[in-house]
Amino acid sequence: MPSNSKRIVFTGGSGKAGRHVIPELIKKGYEVLNLDLVDFPIPEANVFTLKTDLTDSGEVFNALTTHFNFSGYDRPHVPGPPDAVIHFGAYARNMLVPDNRCFQGNVTSTYNVIEAACKLGVKKIIIASSETTYEVCFGQGDLDYGQFPLDEDYDVNPMDTYAISKLCGERVARGFARRFTDVDIYALRIGNVVEPHEYERDFPKYISDPKCRKRNAWSYIDARDLAQICDLCVQRDGLGFQVFNATNDTITATFPTRQFLEQWCPNTPITREMGEWEAPLSNRKIREVLGFKEEHNWRRYYNPE
């Protein structure tokens, strides 16, 4: 490992997104420690997992100042805090545990991670928020979005427990960034995560049955492109608290965005000119501010024509 590589503590790395994001970060030269309750599922990736209960503040503080693997004992100094923390650890959706446990676990873990990182002097914190904050994904009944595109300044007001827990996490991040003015905290509203093997399996239905994708706003994020976004967030300093939609560029449809939305969401106003194929859950901010350039457009892996 290069001596000048940045050290990243990644929470929840054994989950669907993390199992792709962490190997990509390692390829880019980062040293990564995974905090999770289960081991990293890809042994050949050689990722060390420290079993950590993120709802326990003491465990979080301790885990942010521990060795990244056993080779740390060979170094001349005890470890300090990492260069960055990426917090993906959470109950990943509703209906995994009762709602009160989902809320308690997600909010408490996010608070503990942000508090510990800030007080230990970590200058870059990235947290996983969610597309669900835009209200429709786990909303009750057949809801319409308030507008298109869904931009980060949209006044979100979700009704379900998971989305509310993610919105609370954003507010915790915003408050700590105000208190610790030299810390950058970026919240990623992550779209529906797609793994490489899921294109061939799932996209035929997505294209043939557009209604099934309404709750995801006909948008997605390739897990490997999510890794690029995390890398860009680590590299870009000085933005304070920011919310970014983490999605790929284009709508999951076979005809242009405005035409598609006028057909499938006729009651939702379109508030600005959109790109011809722009995803309704728009990533324009992350492209313009961080320079994100997707590498894994869905049409590379599934051709509906």
For 39-59, how does the pLDDT look when each residue is reduced to its tens digit (9 = 90+)?
Answer: 999 999 999 999 999 999 999
Residue 205 and residue 212 in contact, taking contact as beta carbons nearer than 8 Å: yes
66 φ, ψ (degrees, to nearest 5): -110, 170
pLDDT attached to residue 305: 74
Q: Where are the domains of the chain?
A: 7-196+220-248+280-297
2-16, 164-178, 269-283: range with lowest mean pLDDT: 2-16
Tell me the percentage of the chain whose pLDDT exceeds 90. 97
Angle at 211 between CA 210 and CA 213, to 5 degrees: 75
Measure the CA–CA gap between 85 and 106, rounded to whole angstroms: 16
pTM over 0.95: yes
Q: What is the mean pLDDT of residues 82-88?
A: 98
pLDDT attached to residue 5: 81
pLDDT tens sequence across 209-248: 999 999 999 999 999 999 999 999 999 999 999 999 999 9
For residue 208, name the pLDDT band (cuts at 50, 70, 90): very high
**pLDDT reading at 304 higher than 90:** no
Give all strands (DSSP E) within 141-198, no chain letters. 184-190, 193-194
Measure the CA–CA gap between 20 and 16, rounded to whole angstroms: 7
Please state which of the four CATH numbers 1.20.58.220, 2.40.110.10, 3.40.50.720, 3.10.20.30 is assigned to the domain occupying 7-196+220-248+280-297. Answer: 3.40.50.720
For residue 142, name the pLDDT band (cuts at 50, 70, 90): very high
Average model confidence (pLDDT) across the chain: 96
Measure the CA–CA gap between 125 and 122, rounded to whole angstroms: 7
Would you call 175 exposed, middle or buried from its count of C-beta atoms within 10 A (0-12, 13-18, 19+)?
middle
Would you call 270 exposed, middle or buried from its count of C-beta atoms within 10 A (0-12, 13-18, 19+)?
middle
CA 30 to chain centre: 18
